[in-house]
Structure 1
Amino acid sequence: MKNLKLYIFLMAVLPWLSLPLLGKQTFRKFLPGTLFMGIYLMFEGRLAEKRKWWWFPFKIKPNVLGELPLIWGPFFIGSFWIMKYTYKKFNLYLLVNILIDSLFTYYVLDFFKKFGYVSLVRLSKFQLSIVFLIKTFVLYGFQVFYDKVFRGHSDTTHQ
């Protein structure tokens, strides 16, 4: 697809336009968790590349993960939005993540594959769903840990 680079660029940049709507307090509160997840996803991407879980034929540059626009665009900014509205409401957090991750896995991924951005190789869609579920727990767990250890909030029932 000749416009793939433009679409990838827009996918990476457009979510950032919503950042001012989050508010400074939300940004500061969840920045450590979202940064942690971004770095986690980069390591996961390297592992996935080596184990051929998925393949990004789209390359930004040689030796640069093709999923960087996804990681630092919709995944990064989306994590702020999800945490803003669901943090300390774990059941809602889990439900929202399962819904969004399922939409991505079972619909958006097919769209991306059609346009030559990414395809699964040694991972089924169900296995990818499990990978997403693990990340869901990692992000929430990191945020709870961060709040307790660095913010001194031992009570996780209030904001």
Structure 2
Amino acid sequence: MKKKDKLLIILMTILPWLSIPFIGKKTLKRFLPGSLFMSLYLIAEGRFAEKKKWWWFPYSIKPNVLAELPLIFGPFLVGALWILKYTYGKFNLYLLVNILIDSFFTYFGLKWLKKIGYVSLARLTRFQLSIVFLIKTFVLYGFQIVYEKCCHLSKNSSL
């Protein structure tokens, strides 16, 4: 991976965080637990995927550290916050937005990440990756429902 491409990976991690001041404190407080839960889920999934050779990262950040951490703690975590902010409580819209974003990543973003030498699919097809993303869509929404019921948060609270 070239230095220019490493810089792009760093920017991919940092740039989404620049949008956090615009998300609002109430939204952050409401949806951060679900987004953090999904980050932990993605770390566990990454370990599992590494063993099953679903995808391949040609480098690692450090030994025994997942190379997908920039994706997990950059666009995936911040993206989950924004998606929940605008679609939670409207499941059909939530599902549509996730399918569109996940499909864009799977069929276009992944090509670019492969081109720069960041990641490539190994034993997983793009369609199978889409199914993996769809499962995560349901896990995040389900977690948020359970979290709000357990913590007695009003799902109709104004943000």
Note the residue ranges of structure 1 that are not aligned, 5 or more in a row.
none
2:65 equivalent in structure 1: 64
Q: Who is 1:130 aligned against?
A: 131
What is aligned with 2:143? 142
> How far apart are the structure 1 equivalents of 2:153 and 2:40?
24
Which string of whole-angstrom CA distances, capped at 9 and with x for unpartnered residues, describes residues 11-33 of structure 1?
00010000000000000000110
1:6 match = 7
The whole-number CA distance in structure 1 between the counterparts of 2:140 and 2:59 is: 27
Give the deviation of 1:2 after TM superposition.
3.0
Give 1:61 shift.
1.1
Q: What is the aligned partner in structure 1 of residue 78 from structure 2? A: 77
Q: SS state of the match for residue 25, structure 1?
A: helix
CA–CA separation in structure 2 for the residues paired with 1:31 and 1:151: 16
Deviation at residue 152 of structure 1 after TM alignment: 5.2
Moved more, 60-69 or 124-133: 60-69
Per the alignment, residue 98 of structure 2 pairs with 97
Which consecutive aligned stretches of 4+ in structure 1 deviate over 6 angstroms post-superposition? none
| Structure 2 unaligned residues grouped into runs of 5+ | none
Q: Which residue of 1 aligns with 2:47?
A: 46
Amino acid at match of 2:59: F
- Aligned-residue RMSD, C-alpha: 1.0
1:28-66 CA-to-partner distances (Å, cap 9, x unmatched) read: 000110010000000000000000000111321111101
Match of 1:55 in 2: 56
How far apart are residue 150 of structure 1 and its match? 1.6
Q: What is the CA–CA distance in structure 1 between the aligned matches of 2:59 and 2:69, rounded to whole Å?
A: 11
Give the TM-score, by structure 1 length: 0.95
SS in 1 for 2:118: coil
1:118 maps to a residue whose letter is V
Equivalenced residues, count = 156
Task: Provide, for residues 98-151 of structure 1, a one-character-per-residue CA deviation record: whole Å limited to 9, x for no partner.
Answer: 000000000000110011000000000000000000000000000000001122
